[in-house]
C-alpha cells in the first residue's frame, strides 16, 4: 500500500521500480513539515544553559534558519516546530518584531529592514510543545494533530546540508515515484556507526535502497552496514500509530528509528544516498566546520577568511 491519491494519469511511466503498482494513482503532495527542536543541547553546554542550540550562528543567521529555508525551497511552507522548555527564542525569531522594524524604518536602513521582515514572512510556522524529553519518536508524535492524515517531511536541525537541489526535495522526488517512506542516507566511517540509525538494505537503483531493517546507534560489531540515516525523512501518517505503540528503545527513549524498522516490515521504506555536503552542527567540530564552509563560500567574507587561515597556518608553530 503506497500513499497515492486515486485518479492521476501517466503515473505508471514514472514508477519504474519493480513490485510497485501505482496505475491510475497520483502520489499525495507533501505540504507539511515537522522540525523537532526540543533537544537539550547537552553537547553544547554551557552555552545551551540559556541559548537553544538551534539559535547558534551559521555566520549571521541561526542554524535553524538554514533548515527552515531548505523546507521552503522544497516547496513546503506549513511547518511545525516541536519545541521544549527554554526554546521560546526560536518562536520569537520567526515572529514579527514591531519594535526593531520601526527602528530600522525610522533610521532608513531598508535592506536590513527587508531582511528582518522576510524572516517572519517566508513560511507559516506553528509550534507544539514536547513536555518531557522522551526522544525523537515522541517529539514527532507531538505533531500528530498538526499533520493529520497525510504524508509529511521531517528535518532534524543538527544536519545542515549544502546541495544544489535541497535534500528534502530529493526525497520528495523519490516519494513521488515509490509512494512510501523515504529517508536520507550517507555512508559513515565504521567507527562512527554508533552515533546514527543504521540500515540494512538492498540497492534497487544507483543510490536508492530498499530498506529491510534499521538499528538505532548499534555498536560497530552489530551494525548491519555503514549506511547511516541523516536527518531528513518523508513519513506516512501511519507512523504516528506505530510510535504510539513503541516501548522505549536505545538510550531509554522512544526512537523514530524503531518506528521506521516497523514500517520497513509493514509497507516498505526506501533510503536515498543524497547529493550534497552535510555538516553535523550538533557537535563542536561540525559546527565550526559548517561556519568555515559557508564563510569560504561567501563572496565578501571568503577571500579574507582564506587569507587569514593561510597566514595562521604558516604561523602554525605559535599555535
Which residues of the shown chain bind ligand G1P in the complex (CB under 6 A)? 136, 156, 158-159, 196-197, 216, 228-231, 256-257, 282
What cell numbers appear for 249 in the block?
528503545
Rounded Cα distance between 131 and 307, Å, is: 47
Residue closest to 234 by CA, chosen among 169, 285, 300, 183: 183
Q: Angle 273-81-155 (CA atoms, 0-180°, nearest 5)?
A: 0
Q: Residue of minimal CB distance from ligand G1P?
A: 197
Rounded least distance, CB 250 to ligand G1P, Å:
8
Closer residue to ligand G1P in complex, CB, 233/294: 233
Closer residue to ligand G1P in complex, CB, 97/283: 283
Query: Which is it for strands 269-273 and 208-216: parallel, antiparallel or unpaired?
Result: antiparallel
Rounded least distance, CB 94 to ligand G1P, Å:
22
Rounded least distance, CB 234 to ligand G1P, Å:
15
Phi, psi of 134 (to 5 degrees): -110, 15
Rounded least distance, CB 278 to ligand G1P, Å:
9
Q: Cell numbers 540497492 correspond to what residue? A: 203
Rounded least distance, CB 108 to ligand G1P, Å:
43
Closer residue to ligand G1P in complex, CB, 22/167: 167
Count CA atoms within 13 Å of residue 136 on its CB side.
Answer: 22
Rounded Cα distance between 185 and 188, Å, is: 9
Closer residue to ligand G1P in complex, CB, 43/77: 43
Closer residue to ligand G1P in complex, CB, 94/196: 196
Amino acid at each position: 500500500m503506497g500513499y497515492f491519491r486515486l485518479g492521476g494519469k501517466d503515473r505508471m511511466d514514472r514508477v519504474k521500480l519493480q513490485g510497485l503498482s501505482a496505475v491510475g494513482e497520483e502520489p499525495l503532495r507533501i505540504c507539511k513539515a515537522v522540525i523537532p527542536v526540543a533537544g537539550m543541547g547537552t553537547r553544547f553546554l554551557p552555552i545551551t544553559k540559556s541559548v537553544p542550540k538551534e539559535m547558534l550562528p551559521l555566520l549571521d543567521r541561526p542554524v535553524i534558519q538554514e533548515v527552515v529555508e531548505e523546507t521552503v525551497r522544497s516547496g513546503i511552507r506549513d511547518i511545525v516546530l516541536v519545541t521544549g522548555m527554554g526554546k521560546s527564542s526560536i518562536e520569537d525569531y520567526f515572529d514579527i518584531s514591531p519594535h526593531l522594524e520601526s527602528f530600522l524604518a525610522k533610521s532608513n536602513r531598508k535592506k536590513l529592514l527587508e531582511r528582518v521582515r522576510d524572516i517572519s514572512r517566508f513560511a507559516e510556522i506553528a509550534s507544539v510543545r514536547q513536555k518531557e524529553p522522551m526522544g525523537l519518536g515522541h517529539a514527532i508524535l507531538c505533531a500528530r494533530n498538526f499533520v493529520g492524515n497525510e504524508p509529511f517531511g521531517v528535518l532534524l536541525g543538527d544536519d545542515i546540508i549544502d546541495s544544489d537541489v535541497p535534500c528534502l526535495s530529493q526525497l520528495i522526488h523519490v516519494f513521488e515515484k515509490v509512494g512510501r517512506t523515504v529517508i536520507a542516507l550517507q555512508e559513515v566511517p565504521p567507527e562512527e556507526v554508533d552515533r546514527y540509525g543504521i540500515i540494512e538494505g538492498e540497492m534497487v537503483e544507483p543510490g536508492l535502497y530498499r530498506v529491510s531493517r534499521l538499528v538505532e546507534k548499534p555498536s560497530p560489531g552489530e551494525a548491519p552496514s555503514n549506511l547511516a540515516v541523516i536527518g531528513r525523512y518523508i513519513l506516512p501518517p501511519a507512523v504516528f500509530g506505530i510510535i504510539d505503540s513503541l516501548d522505549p528503545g536505545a538510550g531509554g527513549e522512544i526512537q523514530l528509528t524503531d518506528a521506521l524498522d516497523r514500517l520497513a516490515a509493514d509497507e516498505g521504506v526506501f533510503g536515498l544516498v543524497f547529493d550534497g555536503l552535510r555538516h553535523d552542527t550538533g557537535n563542536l567540530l561540525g559546527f565550526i566546520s559548517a561556519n568555515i564552509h559557508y564563510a569560504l563560500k561567501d563572496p565578501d567574507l571568503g577571500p579574507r577568511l582564506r587569507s587569514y587561515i593561510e597566514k595562521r597556518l604558516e604561523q602554525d608553530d605559535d599555535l
